[in-house]
Structure 1
Amino acid sequence: MPSDASSTTPRGAMGKWPSLGLLLVAEIAGMSLWFMSAAILPDLVREFGISPFSQAALSSAVQIGFVVGAVASALLGLADRIDPRRFFASCAIAAALFNASLLVVEPGGFLSIFARFATGALLAGVYPVGMKIAVGWGKADRGFLVGTLVGALTFGSAAPHLLALLGGTDWRWSLSVASAASATGGILCLFTALGPFHAKAPRMRIGAVLTAWTDRKIRFAYAGYLGHMWELYAMWAWIGVALAASFSAHMAPEAALPLSRLVAFLAIAAGGAACIVAGLVADRVGKANIAILAMVVSGSAALASALAFGGPVWLTILCVLVWGAAILPDSAQFSALVADYAPPDQAGSLMTFQTALGFALTFFTVQLTPLGAELIGWPGVFAIMAIGPALGIAGMLRLKRIS
């Protein structure tokens, strides 16, 4: 495993791998809040009769909140100006409190949608800030470091489906466990150390994000990321619902729902595992090459899943598992590329701004996906999702030409 940063760690401070291990646990715990409403949505609909608009709003509010939080953080340079561990911890704990508020407000009402918005805004201090901490620990192994961090994010994103499966119809138990986990993760992050490549910005520079446009390499890395995000969160947010519809063609709904939750968890988790492996390989064969390969496979798997929809259950599961494994490894490499090309004291802000643009796009894809399913069916929606990887590949090929 490559390593180029631990010798300058201050005496008595936690070393590189213990710090990163603790950071990964904190990331998994914090990001367990992201898809909580989507995972327990069938139970909420059954108990409260939430309207289709409110169902979509509960999921998309997280994306909107994240965009608002990430843009504010990027413009103010928060990840580069203040201790990222304290920023991470405060955001994870506050997000846990807003998530837990769903226990006492009316699900599907204004306050519940606002709580999901606030949760998303605060998670902008968890995901990109975690990447800022990770890239401070290395340069030669940066693809692996960010890949591992994004893998942790993915396991956290998959966790709500597992919690919903374990909790059965008791959505309150699932919600409470995720909230407790996020708060605990925030506390754990405080005990990590910052690496020798960590750089702090001396002052607020709102114009720093303009580097994303003036630097062609960063611009094409952003373009590839946007193609990737066109597909990613729409798939993650709705794959459980889509699978339940597909499986219902061959089994009773009461059997299709738990199976769809299990496969959704496994598909998202598979992406996390693949992200770690791809990160290790990317430092040897090139980050852009790994991103291109991942998008070729994920786009193809999206089309295969469209063709398999409603067919044999085993075939649909196989296609979705391949899709889930391939849909994520490119994400970490886009962020690692930005960190490579950015000035060290702007890396946190530029990675945060990158995620803000990506999640702004996901607001539309997540919101429109169930409406598209009603109009053209899930197979048609899956095929449209494949457009994103195709555009992302074009961006990466342009980047390779100028690198």
Structure 2
Amino acid sequence: MTQVRTEPLGNAHLLAIVLAQFAGTSLWFAGNAILPNLQPLLGTTALSGWITSAVQLGFIAGTLVYTLYRIPDTYPATRVFLVSVIAAAIFNLLILVLPLQSGWVLLSRFGTGFFLAGVYPVGMKIAADWFRPVLGRAMGFLVGALVLGTSLPHLIRGVGQSLPYESVLLTVSVLAVAGGLLLVWVMPATPVPRRPGTFSLSVFPMLFRPGPLRAGVTGYFGHMWELYALWAFLPALLTIYSQQHPNFLFNKSVWAFLGIAAGFIGCAAGGLIALRFGSQRVATVNLMISGCCTALIPLMVEAPPAFFLAFLIVYGITIAGDSPQLTTIISTNVPDHVRGSLLTLATCIGFSITIVSIQTLAWLLPYSGNSIWAFWLLVPGPILGLWGLLNKPATQ
């Protein structure tokens, strides 16, 4: 059985995990950030939904493989992280090597997502192994790093609009590998069982047994329906806003960065607040507010720019702020020896849900003439999450 340290490591170690997670997950939305550059070269505008879904599909496939072969629980987690982030960075750069065609672009994004399965969930496992007494705080900073990493390509493109897309891809790939090297250098390896990993389906039913674990899982699934679809179509939302306010000129990429990056505040602050009030309360409040923000989108696009930006930041804070606390609830209610596998499995199912919401919204927006009311498709997500958390109280 995997041994777990009873006292957390220092803040320097937590910072190393946070920086590695930030660097590794910057690969996630690199394709979205450069999509405006690629579309004229590819001669198509049909990739807006698939450029994200390809990463999600790859991530789903990767998490299934990592789970079924118990890779996070069989090998030292830091090494799994490093090998995975190197492979993800290589796939991210395939766009620069292979012929510039839609199929190859989607293959590059799929491969990137596949190996991100050894980055995001494994980073959470490392935090759960070493920071159990302050896990809510640790998860807050860790998921906050994911949020910042996700938003980084938008910032790079927004600040350096003259940068070629090749430079954006190269920058995030180098950053990702550097983060993996930092993690291996700073963090001690978690002890692992001597027996090799086996192909096992035994962990699947654990997620759905009545109790606090299922409450956290249901909350997480509802949260995922809403989160990535909004992140993927935030540029589209900003385009609709600019059409409503043609006299207001603003940098859409920078605003997209602000809307996503604000989630770091929600994750980090929520982690600190959870130490006093518990993860369930923090997750519930965030789901309530983000759900209300989703419902208010059609009204907010008519608001003045300063008001809309404030709304966007509040939305960004709360739509991501529940994620680390939902992960904390799941992490603290699973056995130590399958924690990595179950975290990876829950993440796999969560990202499968994002495929449905992203592709449905991708179909609905053009079908409705880019009507802002299409974003109401996301409202059922927080409703489901709240039902799960409030129907069966969690222990955290």
TM-score, structure 1 normalization:
0.90
Query: Structure 1: any 5+ residue segments left out of the alignment?
Result: 10-14
State whether structure 2 residue 237 is matched by structure 1 residue 242: yes
> 1:75–1:209: 8 Å Cα contact kept in structure 2?
no
1:189 partnered with 2:180: no
Residues 47 and 252 of structure 1, relative CA distance in 2, 3 Å threshold: farther
Which runs of structure 2 are paired with 1:55-66 in the superposition (5 Å)?
55-66=48-59
Contact 1:221 1:399 survives alignment (8 Å):
no
Written as runs of structure 1 = structure 2, the 5 A alignment for 1:133-148 is 133-148=126-141
Return closer, same or farther for 1:248/1:94 CA change in 2, 3 Å cut-off: same
What is the CA distance between 1:290 and its match in structure 2? 0.8
For residues 395 and 180 of structure 2, what CA distance do their matches in structure 1 show?
A: 40
Is the 2:42–2:102 Cα contact (8 Å) retained in structure 1?
A: no
Worse-superposed segment, 109-118 or 214-223:
214-223
> What is the aligned partner in structure 1 of residue 61 from structure 2?
68
1:224 is aligned to 2:219 = yes
Deviations 1:264-300 (A, max 9, x none): 1111111112101101111221111111100001011
Change (3 A) 1:339 1:7: closer
How many angstroms does 1:203 deviate by?
4.7
After superposition, the Cα gap between the structure-2 partners of 1:161 and 1:129, relative to the gap in structure 1 and judged at 3 Å, is same
C-alpha separation between the residues in 2 aligned to 1:354 and 1:6?
Answer: 24
How many Å separate the matches in 2 of 1:399 and 1:117? 36
Q: Deviations over 1:193-216 (max 9, x none)?
A: 2488x7758553511233212353
Q: Given the alignment of the two structures, is residue 103 of structure 1 paired with residue 77 of structure 2, yes or no? A: no
Deviation string for 1:323-356 (max 9, x for gaps)? 1110011111111111111011111111111110
User: C-alpha displacement at 1:241, in angstroms?
Assistant: 2.4
Match of 2:325 among 333, 351, 358: 333
> Which position in structure 2 is the counterpart of 1:251?
246
CA distance in 1, matches of 2:194, 2:56: 27
Given that 2:151 and 2:257 are in contact with CA atoms closer than 8 Å, whether structure 1 keeps it comes out as yes
Q: Deviations over 1:330-383 (max 9, x none)?
A: 111111111111011111111111110000011121222222112333522222
Distance 2:44 2:139 in 1: 38
User: What's the offset of the Cα at 1:107?
Assistant: 4.1
How far apart are the structure 2 equivalents of 1:278 and 1:199? 31
| Correspondence 1:90-129 to 2 at 5 A | 90-129=83-122
Residue 34 (structure 2) pairs with residue 34 (structure 1)? no
Aligned-residue offset at 1:142: 0.8
Q: How big is the shift at 1:310?
A: 4.6
Distance 2:327 2:7 in 1: 25
- How high is the TM-score relative to the length of structure 2? 0.92
Q: Is the 8 A contact 2:7 2:130 kept in 1?
A: no
Whether 1:284 and 2:276 are equivalent positions in the alignment is yes
3-state SS, counterpart of residue 350 of structure 2: helix
Q: How does 1:383-394 map to 2 (within 5 A)?
A: 383-394=376-387
Give the counterpart letter for 1:23 in structure 2.
I
Is the 1:140–1:283 contact (alpha carbons within 8 Å) kept by the matching residues of 2?
Answer: no
Change beyond 3 A, Cα 1:261–1:327: same
Question: What is residue 151 of structure 1 aligned with on the other side?
Answer: 144
SS of corresponding position for 2:393:
helix
Segment of structure 1 superposing worse, 375-384 or 145-154: 375-384
Give, in angstroms, the shift of residue 249 of structure 1: 2.9
Structure 1 range deviating more: 216-225 or 294-303:
216-225
164-173 or 272-281: bigger deviation:
164-173
Which letter maps to 2:219? G
| Equivalent residues of 2:5, 2:129 under 8 A apart | no
Give SS of 1:125's match: coil
Question: Using a 3 Å threshold, how does the CA distance of structure 1 residues 16 and 6 change in structure 2: closer, same or farther?
Answer: farther
Distance 1:107 1:222, change over 3 A: farther
Deviation at 1:219, TM superposition (A): 1.9
State the identity as a percent.
32
Residue 393 of structure 2 is aligned to residue 396 of structure 1 = no
User: Aligned to 2:40, which of 38, 46, 50?
Assistant: 46
Q: Please give the root-mean-square deviation of Cα atoms over the aligned residues, in Å.
A: 2.3
Distance change >3 Å, CA 73–CA 111, structure 1 → 2:
same
Q: Quick one: distance in 2 between partners of 1:153 and 1:374?
A: 30
- The 2-side partners of 1:352 and 1:338 are apart by 11
Tell me the residue number matched to 1:160.
Answer: 153
Q: Distance in 1 between matches of 2:384 and 2:194?
A: 34
Question: Which whole-Å CA distance do the structure 2 matches of 1:164 and 1:102 have between them?
Answer: 17
